[in-house]
Amino acid sequence: MLAVTTLDASDPELRHRACWYGRRTPHLPANLTIHTIEDGELLYCAHPMFFPIVGYDFDTRNCEGCDAFKPRPCTQNLPRLS
């Protein structure tokens, strides 16, 4: 059974973490001014319409009003109803 994650849309880092296109990489760029680093990893959006244009130059504040948000399925074991 899969469940859709719920989140507070006002927190862009939570929204990025819950989005299907939200990705992380341990490779950090030399210029950190327009990037979001969380837990020592670079956050970026892998959406096929955004990534070819902006690449890794991404700030999670862009997630706040994103129309392309696609929630990840929750993979937690949920109790079965019988």
The two tokens of residue 36 are 């979001």
Cα distance between the two ends of the chain: 14
Q: Could you read off the pLDDT of 55-64 as tens digits, one per residue?
A: 888 888 877 7
pLDDT band at 76 (very low <50, low <70, confident <90, very high): low
Residue whose pair of structure tokens reads 């129309």 in the numeric block: 67
Q: Is the pTM of this model over 0.75?
A: no
What ranges make up the beta strands (E) of 1-82?
3-4, 22-25, 36-38, 41-45, 73-74
Q: Could you read off the pLDDT of 15-66 as tens digits, one per residue?
A: 888 888 999 999 888 887 878 888 888 888 999 998 898 888 888 887 777 8
Neighbours of 61 (CB within 10 A): 11
